[in-house]
Structure 1
Amino acid sequence: MISLQSLEKLELLKQNLRGHLPDALKIYGSLFSILKGNPFNLEVLVDSWPNYGAVMTRPLTAPPICDPYTNSYSFFIRDENRIHAVLEHINWNQAFEIQSMQNYFMNKIRHEAAQRNVDTEISLLRTYYQGTQKETGGEQVQRHQKNLEFCSLSPAYVSLVDDSWTFGRCSASQEYVSLCIKSHPSCCVLDSGIPVSWVLCDHYGAMRMLYTVPQERRKGLGSKVCSVLSEIMTKQNRPIYCHVEEENIPSQLMFKDLGLQETESKLLWVRSKSEHNLTGSL
């Protein structure tokens, strides 16, 4: 496959992918950070240019062997026969994850992993998407309410976010959270200067790691931080989307109330399984 490195070609790709949403969400969302300094050190590959049949992102350099957070792959396929070209450019020998909105390739990925004797866990997650409309659903959030203040997450809160994340609590996840906070939009609500609810964007540009401390739940804070982050993302012309587990009914209802619509295709999330692999993406 061909590595696209010029900003001009990457911008042209981004414009083209806009016409293939939501199927191309993972690549399209990644390009926002790739075009702004590429903090996650990703490479964009196409099988041909400009008339590509397959496009994928992968690490530009080899990440640590036990780091699935940055050994992360995504793809968008226009020619279904080109899925094999994508699978050949994945490093199957270390902890990794693959994400794509084209979940009909699940069996081909499962077969490829089996052929390579790689044990994987595969999930299909509901996806909620609003695109880049100028209006967001739900009520306009007041940025100052009594003792509450809405602001972006700062690097000082990396450990707090990482400790609360289901897939966190290791050095690799902490580094990943730090990169997300430093390079992407986020929102938290402070109560007397202390974060009590937050959400951020991952390297795919998806809303992620939504969390509210137990004593502040059932007050609508999660909905409010997501609404504020959606406003920020809309101003930056980013797509607004997230992935939710099948059993997480409250979050599904919340994102619907915010104006996001469920897509027909679910997120295909493939994770390698090993004793050192603390994979995660939500």
Structure 2
Amino acid sequence: MKILNKEELQIAEGVLLKHFPGSLKVYGFIYGINRKKPSTLEIVVDAWPDFKVIICRPDPKNKHALDFMKRVTYYSMDEQILRKMLTEENAVDWSTSFLIGGFDASHATMLKEVSSDRRVNNEVYTMVHLLYLPDSSHLPTPAADSDLESRISSLSLSHIDLVNQTWKFGGNKQGYMNIKNLISHFPSCCITDGQGQPVSWILVYDYCALCLLYTLPGHRGRGYAKVLISTMARRLHTDGYPVYCFIEEENMVSYKLFKNLGFVEDPSYRAAWFEFNF
């Protein structure tokens, strides 16, 4: 097992680019790290340069790691090598609470077996669709008059509380810290009212997935979500970001919205989130 350095992370990014959509979340983390976005992760592989498994895990040397939930993400081309890394090589710290997010759901049985052998509690947190946009040129252009276009801008740090209060996983100090990090270092887009306050917005996670799409109840039904997704997707494509999102299986409204805007899905692939030691 090897921890990748800066030069090796550049090479790994290029390799993962060839394995979409399964590699998208790991690719997104490394994309950000390679562009000097703040991160509390270290990246390990089973071998170099011909790796079969790549894992993003909390960096024990990073003093800010405790400010965020302990998250693990991986991409694997060989389940047996992955199992070995998780069991014999201790690629993750099984003594702590952590979340493995966005992994190939076909590995669920193996993860349950490994955690059970270690007497670690596990819970399937959620199953999701992974939708991505191969080409922004096919994005439909939502009708937006000059007044609406003049009200499209980016979120600022003064909007953290508003976003945190409306986020499904927010409303607390950790949510505040997460949103502050995203607004400070990653693209965001919002539509404001006549007083310049956001009424609809979308952000980008630190693994580059679109997230936190929300419109205040009194401003819904005006097509704001379509305008924000299209605006953000074009901006991300122009800047070289991957354009993708995770949609929970029960959220059919968002699923249909993104599909209608040209996002596609590999029908054979599902992603999942597991919690351990919670």
What's the TM-score, normalizing by structure 2?
0.90
Cα 1:134–1:166 shift into 2, 3 Å: closer
Q: Contact between 2:25 and 2:102, CA under 8 Å: does it hold in 1?
A: yes
Q: Contact between 2:68 and 2:178, CA under 8 Å: does it hold in 1?
A: no
Of 249, 268, 271, the match for 1:267: 271
Of 89, 92, 106, the match for 1:90: 92
Cα 1:146–1:259 shift into 2, 3 Å: closer
Counterpart Cα distance in 2 of 1:143 and 1:16: 42
* DSSP 3-state at the match of 2:133: strand
Question: Corresponding residue for 1:164?
Answer: 166
User: Deviation digits for residues 103-132 of structure 1, max 9, x if unmatched?
Assistant: 21111112222233333321210111113x
Counterpart Cα distance in 2 of 1:241 and 1:188: 18
Which segments of 5 or more consecutive residues in structure 1 lack a partner in the other structure?
Answer: 275-282
Question: Corresponding residue for 1:279?
Answer: none
* DSSP 3-state at the match of 1:45: strand
Of 190, 209, 214, the match for 1:211: 214
* DSSP 3-state at the match of 1:261: coil
**Which structure shows the bigger proportion of residues in helix conformation?**
2
Counterpart Cα distance in 2 of 1:143 and 1:273: 51
Question: Corresponding residue for 2:188?
Answer: 186
Question: Corresponding residue for 1:280?
Answer: none
Counterpart Cα distance in 2 of 1:151 and 1:269: 32
Structure 2 counterparts to residues 3-22 of structure 1, below 5 A: 3-6=3-6, 8-22=7-21
Question: Corresponding residue for 1:50?
Answer: 49
User: Deviation digits for residues 75-123 of structure 1, max 9, x if unmatched?
Assistant: 1112221112442222233332112342211111122222333333212
Give 2:131's aligned amino acid: Y
Counterpart Cα distance in 2 of 1:104 and 1:147: 43
Between 1:199-208 and 1:114-123, the stretch displaced more is: 114-123
Q: CA deviation at 1:272?
A: 3.4
- RMSD in angstroms over aligned alpha carbons? 2.0
Question: Corresponding residue for 1:106?
Answer: 108
Across the two proteins, how many residue pairs are aligned to each other? 269
Cα 1:181–1:86 shift into 2, 3 Å: farther
Cα 1:195–1:86 shift into 2, 3 Å: farther
Cα 1:191–1:46 shift into 2, 3 Å: same
Give 2:4's aligned amino acid: L
Question: Corresponding residue for 1:277?
Answer: none
Counterpart Cα distance in 2 of 1:95 and 1:203: 20
Cα 1:177–1:269 shift into 2, 3 Å: same
Q: Contact between 1:53 and 1:77, CA under 8 Å: does it hold in 2?
A: yes
Q: CA deviation at 1:22?
A: 0.5
Of 244, 248, 259, the match for 1:241: 244
Runs of 4+ in 1 over 4 A off after TM superposition: 140-144
Counterpart Cα distance in 2 of 1:144 and 1:32: 34
Q: Contact between 1:136 and 1:231, CA under 8 Å: does it hold in 2?
A: no
Between 1:234-243 and 1:89-98, the stretch displaced more is: 89-98
| % identical equivalent positions | 28
Of 111, 118, 121, the match for 2:120: 118
Q: Contact between 1:56 and 1:86, CA under 8 Å: does it hold in 2?
A: no
Counterpart Cα distance in 2 of 1:32 and 1:200: 16
What's the TM-score, normalizing by structure 1?
0.88
Give 1:80's aligned amino acid: E
Q: Contact between 1:119 and 1:272, CA under 8 Å: does it hold in 2?
A: yes
